[in-house]
Amino acid sequence: MLFRTPGASGDCCTPALPWGDLPIAEFLTQYEVARADGFEIRYLDRVDLIRMRRAAGRAKDHRRADELERPASNRQPKK
């Protein structure tokens, strides 16, 4: 599921996706919380996101995992 707000966008994950042997239910209980504009945003750490992207296995997930593995100084902003 995709979400979009004036200041952010992304996709939400669900245990119903084909995660292989990745313990996704555990991942979804190990989140951080940020609050902004009355919203509570739950997110995972970078290492878990990379593992999830690799497990999902689609070309776009592998590209995103590659982006997440690069140091912040080498990442290019989205246009």
Per-residue pLDDT of the chain (79 residues; tens, 9 = 90+): 566 777 767 666 677 777 888 888 888 788 889 998 998 888 888 998 899 889 988 898 899 899 999 877 665 655 5
22 residue type, one letter: L
pLDDT at 8: 67
**Paired strand residues for 36:** 39
**Dist CA 37 CA 60 (whole Å):** 30
Residues with Cβ within 8 Å of 52's Cβ and at least 6 positions away in sequence, in order, are 13, 19, 22, 24, 27, 44
pLDDT at 74: 65
